[in-house]
Structure 1
Amino acid sequence: MGFVRTTPPRPVEVAAVFPELAPSARPAIRLHPRPGSPSIRDSSVGGPLLWPAQEPWPHCEDAHLHVDTGFRQSPTEVRLQRRLQSRWRPDDRPPTFTPEEEALKERNAAWLAERFDAGPPWPSECPVPMVPVAQLFLRDIPLLRPPGQADLLQILWCPYEHEPDNKPATALFWRAAADVVDVLAAPPEPYEADWPGYVPEPCVLAPEAITEYPNSLDLSPELAEMLADWSRWQAAGAGVDGSYAESPCDFYSIHLGNAPGWKVGGWPPWGRTDPNPRYCAVCQVPMVPLLTVASWEWDGGEGHSWAPEEDQAAALAGSHYAGQDPSQPTKVEVGSADNLQIYVCPTSPEHPHTDLVQ
């Protein structure tokens, strides 16, 4: 890990003001992905995977209807367009591709034409190669609880939304990195993506261990009532802005509960729905959050208090050029700027995982 990101101290020490919440504290690791050039030996988001050459690359076998979403581009085209956006400035001439990018664009166009000329079945109807989402080594993310001798987690998804939940289908693989001797040199790519937000930008990570508390929706009625008692905040000398006197729970939700962004462990970021527990399909025990795939690293407005100290200036800068918002380094956008949470069985990591959009 070549850089550091540091979550600013929370404005209130939750367990000190509300010791009743102390038993609810959970460890989490914020991944802090940032655009870079990760290798197959690095923990990453959207980077290349340490994938055995002898093991078939995962494909999504579900039906993929060719619905006209107004967007149809290959992952290569998506990333080339992002490169142009990263160089765009309103006071300059429109950026152009470099010779290397032009050559890549031409090779990609030739590949697409060859596939199209092949005729049916169309790529969206065939088994679709899955796209790398995250690769996490235990040495970097000690919060992982892999099975057996595994020390590497790899997560991929299909770049198409799937019914009935309108989200990408996910696949999860644990493996021992030392067992991968011959690495797959050229993994297959999907012909196209349903949405550019399902093509993660390659990012390096700066993992940071933090402590989280439940989302306000996860609290019991008694605890929620306690947080809503403004006199408790005043008696503790918490120094919370008086503008929250009518709704101190909002202060807790925005600044104190669970962190936004890509993270391992911690508490779920409810919002689209009320808490929706997941149960293992094999042993029926309640499942636990493994990975949060986030559309944004921090929210606008007051939510920028979660922006790392090293990014506070950029977070406060306000408007940004197209495609250059520092709070969306991975360029992932799930649903309507939501989060996709992957859950695993705490009894056995080898039991089937599940996922949920929030």
Structure 2
Amino acid sequence: MSRTTPPRPFDVTALFPRLAPLARTATRLHPRPGSPSVHDSSVGGPLLWPADEPWPHCDEPHEGHGASAGPSPAQVRLLRRHRAAMEDRRRRDPEGPWATPEELSTDDRLQAGRPWPEGPTAMLPVAQLYARDVPQLRTLGPPGADLLQVLWCPFDHPAAPRPGLFWRSAAEVTDVLGAPPEPSAIQFSDYLPDPCLCAPEQVAEYPNPLELSKELREQLGDWTRWQAAAGSAVDSSYEAAPEEFYLNHLSVSPGWKVGGWSNWGLTDPVPRRCPRCDTGMDPLLTIASTEWDGAGGSWAPIEDRAGDIPPLPQANPPANFTRVVLAGGYGMQFHICPACPDHPYIDLIQ
């Protein structure tokens, strides 16, 4: 499997030369449904976790504690299989019936939820990335580490799942944990990723307009400048706000990725300083609710445009292959200290 981002509409540095030194490499992960093993870079797949290392649990209070929580991970997977079967029947026979009585009865029972878990909660695997697939990890992570593993508690803390990042050397894991524990319930099914294989691809990114100088932002808003240099490459619908064209098509790539620039949308940029040494922190990993949307559709890979794309349930956001949805459609971004990757990371919802 491979995914190829189409070329950008034009070279933005030719129009705005001061952007050239701000270019950064991002690795788009392009997660797509599959059957990953512990030896694959994946989202929602099994982890190369040492058998003699305790599985991470969350022992902190959860927001929204109530009489019942959501279904268990196994129940979410069953519900998704039912939804997939219903969608397949709908495509083959739009007149229905799309669901069997047994599916409807089971779904009603499972959606009633389970008792709120007591005690520590087993964390869920979210992502596993090998440096052989994402070479940036060798410079972002601790010396000798070639594997990044991300898990989270599937309950809000306070408005998103609480994550945990783990670096390790894959060669040192000789005995793999075969059956990791799972939580008895999860707060929202959107916090359980579907197993996906990754197809990493490197692209060039430029800063979100909010991180540019005032002078550059003013230049981005000059429609006559765009017309003179870019011509028909810029959609005329952006005449009132050409900086939006830059934002949507030329700056920060959407979707799951490593490195690059931070995306902003929920808030304006906030300082990302290491809480231990006050060094400016670098973007590590972005977990996204969608691989692209209507405004940023030009980032859709060529292969997906050609139809090489798995069908998605109708309830999902556009291009949501992992089933992860955070904060109503935003993403979680991790930043780490370049001076010492062992210092505490920062996670932001944007």
* TM-score relative to the length of structure 2: 0.89
Once the two structures are TM-superposed, the CA of residue 25 in structure 1 deviates from its matched residue by 0.7
The code of the aligned residue for 1:341 comes to Q
SS at match of 1:10: coil
What is the deviation of 1:336? 1.3
- Match for residue 244 of structure 1? 238
Give the alignment partner of residue 204 of structure 1, picking from 197, 202, 211.
Answer: 197
Partner of 1:150: 145
1:177 aligns with 2:181: no
How big is each residue's C-alpha offset from its partner over 1:128-159, in whole Å with a ceiling of 9 and x where there is no partner?
11111100000000011221211100010110
In the TM superposition, 1:278-317 aligns within 5 A as: 278-300=272-294, 302-312=295-305
Superposed CA offset, 1:217-248 (max 9, x none): 11111110011111221221442222222211
SS at match of 1:297: coil
Mapped to 2, the partners of 1:136 and 1:271 lie a distance apart of 26
1:92-136 Cα offsets, whole Å, 9 max, x none, are 4435699xxxxxx9xxx9xx99xx7xxxxx52x311111111000
- Which residue, 139, 161, 168 being the options, matches 2:156? 161
Q: 1:284 to 1:11 in 2, by over 3 A?
A: same
- Partner of residue 335, structure 2: 343
Once the two structures are superposed, the pairs formed by residues 43-192 of structure 1 within 5 Å of their partners are 43-64=41-62, 67-68=65-66, 72-88=70-86, 89-90=89-90, 91=94, 92-95=96-99, 123=117, 125-144=118-137, 145-163=140-158, 166-192=159-185
Output the aligned Cα RMSD. 2.6
Distance in 1 (CA, whole Å) between partners of 2:119 and 2:321 is: 31
Structure 1 gap ranges (5+): 99-104, 117-121
Note the alpha carbon deviations across 1:42-69, whole angstroms, 9 max, x for none. Answer: 0000100000000000011101256349
The answer to whether the Cα contact below 8 Å between 1:84 and 1:96 also exists between their aligned partners in 2 is no
Contact 2:293 2:318 in 1 (8 A): no
2:250 corresponds in structure 1 to 256
Give the partner amino acid of 1:162.
H
- Residue identity over aligned pairs, in percent, reads 54
Q: Answer yes or no: is the 8 Å Cα contact 2:59–2:120 preserved in 1.
A: yes
What amino acid maps onto 2:246 in structure 1?
Y
Q: Hey, what does 2:32 align to over in structure 1?
A: 34
Partner of 1:227: 220
Distance 2:221 2:314 in 1: 40
Consecutive unaligned residues of structure 2, counting only runs of 5 or more, are none
Find runs of 4+ consecutive structure 1 residues off by over 6 angstroms. Answer: none
One-letter amino acid of the structure 2 residue matched with residue 155 of structure 1: V
User: Is it true that 1:356 corresponds to 2:348 in the alignment?
Assistant: yes
Output the amino acid matched with 1:61.
Answer: D
Which of 186, 199, 222 is equivalent to 1:193?
A: 186
Aligned length: 333
Q: What residue is the counterpart of 1:101 in the other structure? A: none
Distance 2:124 2:340 in 1: 25
- Cα–Cα, structure 1 residues 149 and 200, in superposed 2: closer, same or farther, change >3 Å? same
Q: 1:55 to 1:97 in 2, by over 3 A?
A: farther
Whole-angstrom distance in 1 between the partners of 2:20 and 2:221: 17
Relative distance call for 1:233 and 1:55 in structure 2 (3 A) is: same
Q: What secondary structure sits across from 1:38 in the alignment?
A: coil
TM-score by length of 1: 0.87
Q: Deviations over 1:157-190 (max 9, x none)?
A: 1100112xx1111111110001001111110000
SS of residue in 2 equivalent to 1:136: strand
| 2:4 aligned to which of 3, 6, 17 | 6
What whole-Å deviation, never above 9, does each CA across 1:183-202 have from its counterpart, x for those lacking one? 11110000111111110111
> CA, structure 1 residues 155+321, in 2 after alignment: closer, same or farther (shift >3 Å)?
closer
Q: Identify the range of structure 1 (151-160 vs 325-334) with the bigger mean alpha-carbon deviation.
A: 325-334
CA change 1:242–1:66 in 2 (3 A) is: closer
Match of 2:260 in 1: 266
Alignment counterpart, residue 324 of structure 2, candidates 332, 347, 357 = 332
- Please say if residues 85 and 323 of structure 1, whose CA atoms lie closer than 8 Å, have aligned partners that are also in contact: no
Q: Given the superposition, is the C-alpha separation of residues 130 and 305 from structure 1 closer, same or farther in structure 2, using an over 3 Å criterion?
A: same
Q: Residues of 1 paired with 2:58 and 2:20: CA distance?
A: 42
Counterpart CA distance in 2 for 1:303 and 1:71 is 35
SS of residue in 2 equivalent to 1:20: helix
